[in-house]
Amino acid sequence: MYSGQVARSEKEIADLQRKAAGERERAAKERGGAVQKRGQITRNTSDSQRLGKERDAARAEEKAAKHESKAADFDRQASQKGDQLQRARANLARAEASDREKDERKRKQDLDREKRDLAEIERRRRSLQSAPAFEPHAIPWRGEPIEPSGRPPESSTLSDFDDGDDAAPVFDVCLSFAGEQRSYVELVARGLKDRGYAVFYDVDEQANLWGKNLTEHFEYVYRVASRACVMFISAEYAEKPWTKHERRSALARALEEDEYVLPARFDDTELPGLAPTIGYIDLAEIAPASLVDLLTEKLGEPQGTGG
């Protein structure tokens, strides 16, 4: 707002100064004409001619005075506008300082939030290390002991699962990750859910997954039912059989839809089928809350109906 006021005032002042300069130029021209008329009067000039030239010179001087008066009026207006400009500039400077303070407070808040996230990740990591049996038993498909029973047939298509072209997505985003990175991913899942997104995160789906054919259901989730798939890439992710199955399902969808797979890297592990030219997020440089911010920007408004 204030920047617009400053710009308008500067333009108005420049216009008034231009008009004042034009009036002064016209006044100088009239005065020059008056001098010229009087310069034409000599001893040989008749009384009637002298009177005419004096009258012409007086009229020119009168016009010059009017132009000077207009110029002075434009100067007064410009001076008033100058006062307005100074006030607008002062307001703009205060507003910019306030914005900088807000930005600095937000930067500090984001930094504090990232520190809290990283502390929580470390706490969860230590908790998992102190109870190593939890992961394979509670979420068996994130551990190594259970092998998937097989993959859906190569001829399967989206229509094998689809409820119709206009069906709303079940999940806004599905998360594909290895159990070793759960402490980070859980913070991302919670942050997205807090913002109203329908998220496929395995811990929240245990009752729903109980008794299901997981091979078929994960094919549905990672290939059909989600708007996007965040693939948390790590050395462990590349090796586990169930994350391979999730990856294959997601990449099959990516063949038909650009920007479906959103890679997020814990390390530089290469994944078969994932082109190295696809843009990714480096998780070594970003905390979970910041990743939630980026995903919110990427996904737009929540659309998922939930599982």
- Residues in the chain, total: 307
Low-confidence ranges of the chain (pLDDT < 70): 115, 118-119, 122-167, 307
pLDDT tens by residue, 122-170 = 666 566 555 443 343 345 556 544 444 444 434 344 444 454 445 678 9
Phi, psi of 161 (to 5 degrees): -115, -25
pLDDT tens by residue, 255-290 = 889 999 999 999 999 998 898 889 999 998 888 999
Find residue 171's DSSP bridge partners: 226
- 143 close to 135: Cβ distance less than 8 angstroms: yes
Angle formed at CA 251 by CA 245 and CA 255, multiple of 5 degrees:
150
Neighbours of 141 (CB within 10 A): 21
What residue type is assigned to position 159 of the chain? S
CATH number assigned to the domain covering 137-299 = 3.40.50.10140
Q: Measured over all CA atoms, what is the biggest interatomic distance in the chain, rounded to whole angstroms? A: 127
Alpha helices of the chain — where are they, by DSSP H? Answer: 2-39, 47-130, 134-138, 182-194, 206-209, 214-223, 235-239, 241-254, 288-299
Rg (CA), the chain: 38
- Going by the DSSP 8-state scheme, the letter that residue 77 receives in this structure is H
Q: Which sequence spans correspond to the domains of the chain?
A: 2-105, 137-299
pLDDT score at 70: 92
Stretch (H or E) spanning 200: strand 199-200
